[in-house]
Chains A and B, each alone.
Chain A
């Protein structure tokens, strides 16, 4: 059976890229190493912070006091007991490093979703009822496909039976949680949305001509009729999805670190709101009611934002005009 290696545009495999990156870290002069690893002097001891570690690689299940971790070199997902600190289980089913995971529970059922650089996600059922049994079964309930590049982030809404995942290919894919069925793909068109907003704000005829508001509105709403030139333009502008949240009302909030934009989508893939942020975001979470997005990032500030509510595209555009007309950073 032929094995297809995942290759980058330069023709190198992802593993080769990784090895090259790590060799750069170990051999490069300190000035270059700082771009990958950051050293802090905390008290009298030095600590090295890996820029690749994020809160998306840990999940805590409070009622069973278990921590699920990923990002391990052996492509495993590990389960650790909080009280004893002992490793309970290590599972290797993915074919590349697991980049993100999420846990959810609903009426006594609990699930773990893992997303990997092998472009797939796996749904695991967590079972901690049986004494002495492993919390995860040896095989996943479902394997979710659809991404063309590494999965970077995942979130679950068990009430809506929804798994939302983001990828380096710039797409967000929705699956059913319980049966693993594919629902739809959402293309992150936030950059185009911002281009339109800017064009309207600045009155740039070129930008407006190149995008075209009617074509644009069909393209961002996922319509299949018309808008082919805009859709083509969109496909060349995709930013990697760095972080995802899905609210109780099933609003999907995506953050792309490439262009530093936050974007709210409806369940149907419609763009509700787009905001450019003046910093790199490293942590995103929603309030309990799902109406407020809380972010933290490189500017050392905690910022609260409204997620989304009743939707009217014309008003949104006016708001964007107002936002870009003002000098406010946030």
Chain B
């Protein structure tokens, strides 16, 4: 039986994804978010997660493009196109 207890979502269907994001990206020299997050918004089809910080800064977090490609490929396989 699968039970969800407000645990971090890093298992099951979300296995391999980070459940705690600080917004940093080492390869692009983007530091972690340094102010409290005041608002969150997800764009259509969960492509981007927009975080509004207390400093007035806005961070846009994007899905891993490889994941999106893989998801599209899986859907095409499911409906029998590939």
Contact = CB atoms under 8 A, between A and B. Distances in A.
B45 interface: yes
Nearest to B35: A300
B56 interface: yes
Interface residues of A, number: 48
B21 A302 contact: yes
Contacts of A262: 6
A244 B41 CA distance: 15
Contacts of B20: 301-304, 330
B32 A300 contact: yes
B25 interface: no
Contact of A47 (B5, B8, B36, B56): B56
Contacts of B10: 304
B77 interface: no
Interface in B1-35: 1-10, 12, 14, 17-23, 32-35
A300 B22 contact: yes
A173 interface: no
Given A40-B54, A302-B40, A303-B19, A274 B6 contact: yes
Grouping DSSP codes into helix (H, G, I), strand (E, B) and loop, the B interface class, with mixed when no group exceeds half, is: loop
A250 interface: no
B39 interface: yes
A256 to B, nearest CB: 13
B54 A38 contact: yes
A284 B21 CA distance: 15
Interface string A288-300: 1001111111111
A283 interface: yes
B6 A264 contact: yes
A310 B12 CA distance: 14
A320 B39 CA distance: 29
A264 B21 CA distance: 22
B55 A40 contact: yes
Contacts of B42: 285, 287-288, 294
B61 interface: yes
B7 to A, nearest CB: 6
A288 B2 contact: no
Residue from B4, B17, B20 with most neighbouring chain A CB atoms (10 Å): B4
A316 interface: yes
A274 B4 CA distance: 10
A98 B31 CA distance: 37
A220 to B, nearest CB: 15
A310 B40 contact: no
Given A273-B6, A296-B51, A302-B23, A283 B46 contact: no
Given A288-B45, A306-B9, A319 B3 contact: yes
A42 interface: yes
A291 B2 CA distance: 13
A296 B6 contact: no
Contact of B7 (A40, A306, A315): A306
B40 A55 contact: yes
B55 A282 contact: no
A306 B6 contact: yes
Interface of B: 1-10, 12, 14, 17-23, 32-42, 45-46, 49, 51-57, 61
Given A54-B38, A300-B36, 4 more contacts: A306-B4, A306-B5, A308-B4, A315-B3
19 contacts: A40-B56, A54-B39, A282-B39, A285-B41, A285-B42, A292-B9, A293-B6, A300-B22, A300-B35, A300-B37, A300-B53, A301-B21, A302-B40, A302-B51, A304-B9, A305-B19, A306-B7, A310-B2, A312-B3
